[in-house]
Amino acid sequence: MSDVETRFLPLLPLSTGVVLPQMVVPLGLESDEAKAAADAALAGDGLLVLVPRLEAESGPTVYARVGTVAKIEEAGRLPGGGRGVLVRGLHRAILGAAVPGFGQGSSGDGLFVQAEPVEDPSGPPSERARELMKLAREPRGRAREPLGLAREPLAGVAGVAAVRRRRSSAGSATW
């Protein structure tokens, strides 16, 4: 993280979901705010901050305090004709001061926020994380056992299938 610095970047709000570092995600630019953020990023070095928009009952729009700095890999039109971008999450950032229409590559529109890089925890994964990674690579039936999930519903489905096979073969004739 030593090569990453705090800077002002355009804010692209996410109405649903989150984008984490290392994810590559297509995003539709449906709101004017999202279009302004993408335009400002493309006018500069292609960087922006992706931040979940939080539900606010009344008052101004509220954003999460931590977002993901992302790079626009590609911009274009979606199949329906709307604008879209393909973004790659780079690293997490804590949001600081927000300024309308200010920042590198600014067109005067949109919201720019101070993005301070967050150092991701490093080191080897915990014993539990290694166990879960191992389970994720195993076939489904075996992965259920250590997690304490019941196998009976699966056995019940197999039993229903066996009854159907017997019922369909008994007393039926193929013409």
| pLDDT of residue 34 exceeding 80 | yes
Question: Domain ranges in the chain?
Answer: 7-117, 127-169
| pLDDT of residue 67 exceeding 60 | yes
Looking at every residue in the chain, the average pLDDT score rounds to: 76
For the entire predicted model, the pTM comes to 0.64
Residue (of 78, 101, 90) closest to 22 by Cα position: 90
12 vs 140 pLDDT, higher one? 12
- Provide the pLDDT confidence category of residue 103 given band limits of 50, 70 and 90: low
- CA torsion angle 38 40 44 45 (round to 10): -30
In the three-class reduction of DSSP (H, G, I as helix; E, B as strand; rest coil), residue 15 is classed as: coil
* CATH fold for domain 7-117: 2.30.130
Residue whose tokens read 């493309």: 42
Contact (Cβ atoms closer than 8 angstroms) between residue 73 and residue 47:
no
DSSP letter (8 states) at residue 104: T
